[in-house]
Structure 1
Amino acid sequence: MHTTVGIIGGGPAGLLLARLLHKAGVDSVVLESRDRAYVEQRQRAGVLEQATVDALRDCGAGERLDREGLVHHGIELRFDRRAHRVDFPSLAQGRGVTIYAQTEVVKDLIALQLAEGGPLLFGAQVREVTGADTERPAVRFAHNGREQTLTCDYVVGCDGFHGVAREAFPEHLRRTYERTYPYSWLGVLADVPPSCEELIYAHSPRGFALHSLRSPQVSRLYLQVPAGDDPANWPDERIWDELDARFAVDGDWRLERGPITAKSVLPMRSFVTEPMRFGRLFLAGDAAHIVPPTGAKGLNLAATDVIVLARAFAHLQAAGSTELLDAYSDICLRRVWRAEHFSSFMTTTLHTAPDQNPFDTRLQLSQLDRIASSPHAAAELAENYVGLPIEGP
């Protein structure tokens, strides 16, 4: 089997890349290690930047997104029993974000790919990538009980932090930067209409809390918990009581309660590997970088990677030039580090560290008050949250 672009990983990054390449007339094959049901049920992010929304529309995956996605024009910060709204249109040139769950993005992209795209193989266990520094790299994988080889002109690793693509980079060429945060998130899904019209980010003496949503009928909520905590330590009533306490403000706001249908603990860490290219092998998404979820950047960074990469492959197809492919790593890493900084800022400003002292807390409150009182500080937050422009043509 041979293709122009071999894509390892059938998550949102790999699927979006396949669709964008299909539109540009570049053939590809997508290899996904899990089965379709697993991929379509993974609970992940739900906040889409405008550039991500535009790319989904551009590749034909915008119909249900436009019908069911919820456009948000701000977020609410809660701290010191106060609530402050950050208004995106007035601070970020009219831009906003769209709430549409990653699970739904993946379902839409899979349906399109199977209907009209190139091969998408589920249950394809990739063993290794070879020949990345040659003109004919290859991906060795097992599928339906058979060992197979996919030769490619180029390979893109969208296979996440634990995937094999990054391992094909020689160790002496890889630079890794990482930070582990001393807390986790307990994420829950609840069958109850959201108690807010826009996302609430809450700083409290008890720790961070986030009120998000998946639809007008389903709430998605998060609590800061000790690193590696067990969801079993959190019965439903305890979760609702803790959310009530952390979202508390002076006024008549009320948190609606309902049946909790899912619980999971998410680690908090930052990770970047450089460069994002070796020979004819490129990394995209979590294979190259991870951000803590506080800034809503993970899915959007992955989408940006493949948007830049798809443009580069389209330029190669149209002009025969590798200029944009050669610039891929530098372009993406500039944006990655900006997002890493923003995500770290949101995380450290809103969370309570285990060894935090009153001085640290007063610094956090001062920063939040600055955002609430200064249009310049609020604009910096808003512009980063809705997504900075993508570099390049």
Structure 2
Amino acid sequence: MRIQVGIIGAGPAGLLLSHVLNLEGIGSVVLEARSRDYVESRIRAGVLEQGTVDLLTQSGLGARMAQIGLLHRGIELRFRGERHRIDFPSLTEGKSVMVYAQHEVVKDLIAARLAAGGDLRFEAKVDGLDGIDTAAPSIRYTQHGAAKILDCQVVVACDGFHGIGRTAIPSERLRVYERVYPFGWLGILAEAPPSSDELIYARHDEGFALFSMRSPTVSRLYLQCPADVDLGDWPDARIWDELERRAEIPGGWPLARGPVLQKGVTPVRSFVAEPMQHGRLFLAGDAAHIVPPTGAKGLNLAAADVRTLSRALVRWFRTGNEDLLEAYSATALRRVWQAERFSWWMTSLLHRFDETGPFGQRIQLAELDYVTSSQAAMRTLAENYVGLPFAD
């Protein structure tokens, strides 16, 4: 079979690219190693920038998000027993963010692609790529025990950090930038109503804590922990007590507790691979970059990659003009590095770094005092959090 665009990975990036291209009359096939049930049940963060919300809405995917998503007009920074709210609309000309879980976005995308007759091939393991330096690349894959080949004009790897796509770029062409932090996030999904209407980012001498939500009845909460933490040392009661302690304020506060549905540790790392293209192979999403979760940028960067790449592909297929396609990597990486910088800054601002000692802790508090007292500093945080303007 020959198709215009072969897409590896049925995560948000791959599915959104297939959906947007279909709206423009461009054919694609999506290959996914896992089953549909697995893909639709993967729990990931889901804070959507204003631009991501707009992109989903404009492409016909906003109905369920508008119905069950949680619109947030600010966040709270909590430190030294004090509460400080960052109001997004007043600082960003009316912008906000939407809390809408990634697996819900994936469900919407799969439903839309299937309703439109899209070709989604689950349990299709990609074995290799051929001819990416030519005008006729192909993808070798195995599905239900049968070896198959998909011939394309373009291959887009949206197959995540551990996927095969990035490894197809010659090592001498690829440059990698990486930082692995010496801690992780111990996260729980709990059957408990959110303790706050908006996300709380708490800085404490013992480490960072984040209070988020998935719905009006389910909370998502995180604690900074050692990278090699043993979950056996963290029974549910200890987690709840530590969450309450790290967000303490005078007079206490009503932390809603409930049964823990899931528990796990998320590593904290920064990663960027350059360039994001080689020949007729293009990378998007986690295949090209990872950000610390502190800035809530992972899914949003994937959507931004898709926005940039889809526009370039549409121009190329319609007119033969390759200018946008050749500039894809440089264009996407400018936004990637802005998001990396913001995520690094948020991580540095709120986490405990043992190597910096008491001096570093005092610097953090001084920075937080500045951020919450300066209109310019609050605007900088808000502008980055809701999403910087797209560079059209």
- The interval holding the TM-score normalised by the smaller chain is over 0.9
Report the more deviating stretch, 266-275 or 244-253: 244-253
SS of the aligned residue for 1:61 comes to coil
Match in the other structure for 1:109: 109
Alignment-derived partner of residue 139 in structure 1: 139
- State the partner residue of 1:91: 91
Give the letter aligned to residue 378 of structure 1. M
Alignment of 1:58-69 (within 5 A): 58-69=58-69
Other-structure match for 1:8: 8
Q: Counterpart of 1:359?
A: 359
**Counterpart of 1:178?**
178
Q: CA deviation at 1:318?
A: 3.0
Q: 1:256 offset after TM fit, Å? A: 1.1
**Structure 1, residues 243-298: CA drift from partner, whole Å, max 9, x if none?**
01001012452211111110010000000000001011000000000001000000
In 2, Cα distance between equivalents of 1:85 and 1:251: 19
Q: What residue is the counterpart of 2:384 in the other structure?
A: 384
The DSSP-based 3-state class of the residue aligned with 2:106 is helix
- What one-letter code is carried by the residue in structure 1 that aligns with 2:144? N
Tell me the equivalent position of 1:260: 260
1:7-156 maps to which residues of 2 (within 5 A)?
Answer: 7-156=7-156
CA distance in 1, matches of 2:90, 2:189: 32
CA distance in 1, matches of 2:213, 2:55: 22
Query: 1: CA distance between counterparts of 2:299 and 2:165?
Result: 19
Write the distance in 2 (CA, Å) between the matches of 1:40 and 1:228.
29
CA contact (8 A) 1:48 1:98 kept: yes
**Which amino acid in 2 is paired with 1:188?**
I
Secondary structure in 1 matching 2:372: helix
CA distance in 1, matches of 2:118, 2:327: 26
Q: Does structure 2 retain, via aligned residues, the 8 Å contact 1:230–1:265?
A: no
> Using the alignment, how far apart are the partners of 1:364 and 1:245 within structure 2?
19
Instruction: Say whether the 8 Å CA contact 1:188–1:264 is kept in structure 2.
Output: yes
Query: CA deviation digits over 1:27-78, x for unaligned, max 9?
Result: 0000000001111111111100111112212222211001111110100000
Separation of aligned partners in 1, 2:201 and 2:383: 17
- Cα distance between partner residues in 2 of 1:121 and 1:243: 42
What is the correspondence of 1:154-233 to structure 2 with a 5 Å cutoff? 154-233=154-233
What letter is aligned with 2:129? V
Aligned residue in 1 for 2:297 = 297
Structure 1 unaligned residues grouped into runs of 5+: none
Aligned residue identity for 2:60: G
The aligned residue for residue 239 of structure 2 is 239
State the identity %.
Answer: 58
Amino acid at match of 1:346: M
User: Any idea what the Cα deviations from partners look like across 1:80-103, whole Å, max 9, x if unmatched?
Assistant: 111100010111121010000001
SS of aligned partner of 2:198: coil
When the two structures are superposed, what TM-score results if normalisation uses the length of structure 2?
Answer: 0.98
Segment drifting more, 319-328 vs 218-227: 319-328
**1:314-335, Cα deviation, whole Å (9 max, x unpaired):** 2223332111111110110000
Aligned 8 A contact 1:285 1:305 in 2? yes
CA distance in 2, matches of 1:56, 1:230: 39
Kindly provide the amino acid, as one letter, of the partner of residue 366 in structure 1.
A
**Secondary structure, aligned partner of 2:10:** coil
Give the letter aligned to residue 134 of structure 1: T
**Residue 320 of structure 2: aligned partner:** 320
Question: In the alignment, residue 35 of structure 2 is paired with which amino acid?
Answer: D
Distance 1:83-1:374 versus aligned 2 partners, 3 A rule: same
Structure 1 runs (4+) deviating above 6 angstroms are none
Question: Mean alpha-carbon deviation: is it higher for 54-63 or for 381-390?
Answer: 54-63
CA distance, structure 1, for counterparts of residue 117 and residue 30 of structure 2: 10
Tell me, yes or no, if the aligned pair for 1:228 and 1:267 is still in contact at 8 Å. no
What is the CA–CA distance in structure 2 between the aligned matches of 1:224 and 1:118, rounded to whole Å? 41
Amino acid at match of 1:271: F
Deviation of 1:196 after TM superposition, in Å, equals: 0.2
Range moving further from structure 2, 320-329 or 94-103 = 320-329
Any idea what SS the aligned residue of 2:228 has? coil
Q: 1:168-220: per-residue Cα shift (whole Å, max 9, x none)?
A: 10111000000000100011011111010100000001100000000011100
AA aligned opposite 2:126: V
Tell me the distance in 2 between the aligned counterparts of 1:280 and 1:389.
Answer: 28
CA–CA distance in structure 2, aligned partners of residues 214 and 33 of structure 1: 27
Which letter does structure 1 place at the counterpart of 2:358? P
Letter paired with 1:362: R
1:341 — aligned with what?
Answer: 341
In 1, Cα distance between equivalents of 2:230 and 2:16:
34
| Alignment-mate amino acid for residue 72 of structure 1 | H
Corresponding residue pairs, total: 392
**Alpha-carbon distance in structure 2 between the residues aligned to 1:95 and 1:312:** 27
1:149 deviates by 0.6
Determine the C-alpha separation between the residues in 1 that align with 2:249 and 2:372: 15
TM-score, normalisation: structure 1: 0.98
In structure 2, what is the Cα distance between the partners aligned to 1:198 and 1:163? 34
